[in-house]
A and B are shown apart, each in its own frame.
Chain A
């Protein structure tokens, strides 16, 4: 059974702080993704990675960066948190050759920036 874990379920940070969100998957998946979920906007892709040390921008990368030093771990970094980054953050992983293109999601981190 695929398991995707995220370091925190809830996080409260102040404006300007540097924030790290960690994601770990245990199924040797090549692909990893970071999304944010906001009411009325659905899931929007922030960044994704196909391999270690590889990253590509998604649809809304501004204000974020990522790091993938090991295959199982994908980190999302908010360099200087702002209130408009208050959101639910979801990490996902998938096999590179999954014929269903299915992504497996973690439980999410609800981040509040005050």
Chain B
């Protein structure tokens, strides 16, 4: 039972445009959400996070939006750069779930020059 879903396995965006990566979740007990970025042959690295008490968090070119009623979050990257080409994972923490994270399947983002 996939509690965190990234339904788009891949996304291709032109350099300079906006990249929008989506993530849906089913567990209403999730109270914190994170995005990780992974390059080939490297471990995932933390990108940005958001608490369930907020609906937006921004860090430079990266913004995460949370829609609790729809159980949906999205990561916006603007403007997209070639170095953003990577696999992006959405993750969620369950309230009372200690320090565990539940990850989505990942979306491979390719930025075309």
Q: Does B109 contact A (CB under 8 A)?
A: no
Q: Beyond A40-B105, A100-B34, A101-B32, is A31–B99 a contact (Cβ under 8 Å)? A: yes
User: Which of B9, B43, B89, B93 meets A101, CB within 8 Å?
Assistant: B93
Contact with B along A101-112 (1 / 0, CB 8 A): 111111110000
Q: Does B6 contact A (CB under 8 A)?
A: yes
Q: Beyond A100-B49, A101-B49, is A41–B105 a contact (Cβ under 8 Å)? A: yes
Contact with B along A24-48 (1 / 0, CB 8 A): 0000000101010000111111001
Q: Does B41 contact A (CB under 8 A)?
A: yes
Contact with B along A67-90 (1 / 0, CB 8 A): 000000000000000000000001
The closest CB in chain B to the CB of A107 belongs to: B43
Chain A nearest CB, measured from B100 CB (Å): 7
- Residue pair B106, A4 in contact (C-beta under 8 Å): no
- Residue pair A96, B99 in contact (C-beta under 8 Å): yes
- Residue pair A103, B41 in contact (C-beta under 8 Å): no
B41 neighbours in A (Cβ, 8 Å): 9, 107-108
Complex Cα spacing A92 to B36, Å = 13
- Residue pair B43, A90 in contact (C-beta under 8 Å): yes
- Residue pair B99, A94 in contact (C-beta under 8 Å): yes
Complex Cα spacing A61 to B105, Å = 19
Complex Cα spacing A52 to B29, Å = 28
User: Which of A44, A96, A105 meets B43, CB within 8 Å?
Assistant: A105
Known A45-B100, A102-B34; 10 more pairs at CB < 8 Å: A43-B44, A48-B99, A50-B98, A50-B99, A58-B100, A94-B99, A101-B34, A101-B101, A105-B36, A108-B43
